[in-house]
Amino acid sequence: MNCPQCNQDNSEDARFCAECGALLAESPLALPRVDFVTAVKLGFSNYFIFKGRSTRAEYWWWALFAVIGSMVFNILGALNGLPLAGTFSLVTLIPGLALGARRLHDINRTGWWQLLIVGSFLIIPPLVLLVLATKHGDIGPNKHGQDPRQASTQTP
């Protein structure tokens, strides 16, 4: 299969170009990529769902939402004298933990790995969680469910 960007010849089963790293072909069953608004909606709609898998994009868009929201509510709270940032943190705590567990499930790890954050006063545990959060998810189903990047061909 020829790369559309650099015209490098690659094997037929390759997903990425060996020369430039470009995506060679989308799977016909691939779902559209998750954007910021979709990730926030998914985070709140799956508020208490700790089972299943979530993509890296969903996880990192939610993290961006949490950081921006905390900053905005810190500023608004400082201006008004109200604990808005604390309220925002409480509202996003459970969906953030659920999303973190689903993200860890995507790399075939248990959600309990999030307990490493308890050792956040050390440097190593948060770095381990950061590395785990950036890893590519398992292709295809694993013990935690179907691949969230692929549409299911089975009817429920």
Query: Please, what's the largest Cα pairwise distance for the chain?
Result: 62
- The answer, yes or no, to whether residue 45 has pLDDT greater than 70, is yes
DSSP label of 7: -
- Quote the crossing angle between the two packed helices 84-106 and 124-134, to the nearest 10°: 60
pLDDT of amino acid 156: 42
Say if CB 8 and CB 18 are below 8 A apart: yes
Tally of helices (H runs) and strands (E runs) in the chain: 4, 0
Q: What is the pLDDT of residues 47-105, one digit of tens each?
A: 999 999 999 999 999 999 999 999 999 999 999 999 999 999 999 999 999 999 999 99
Give residues with Cβ within 8 angstroms of 110, minimum separation 6: 104
| Listed range (14-23, 27-36, 77-86) with the worst mean pLDDT | 27-36
Distance CA 6, CA 21 (A): 10
pLDDT of amino acid 154: 47
pTM: 0.76
Of residues 128, 155, 143, 152, the one with CA closest to residue 52? 143
pLDDT band, residue 155 (cuts 50/70/90): very low
pLDDT of amino acid 150: 78
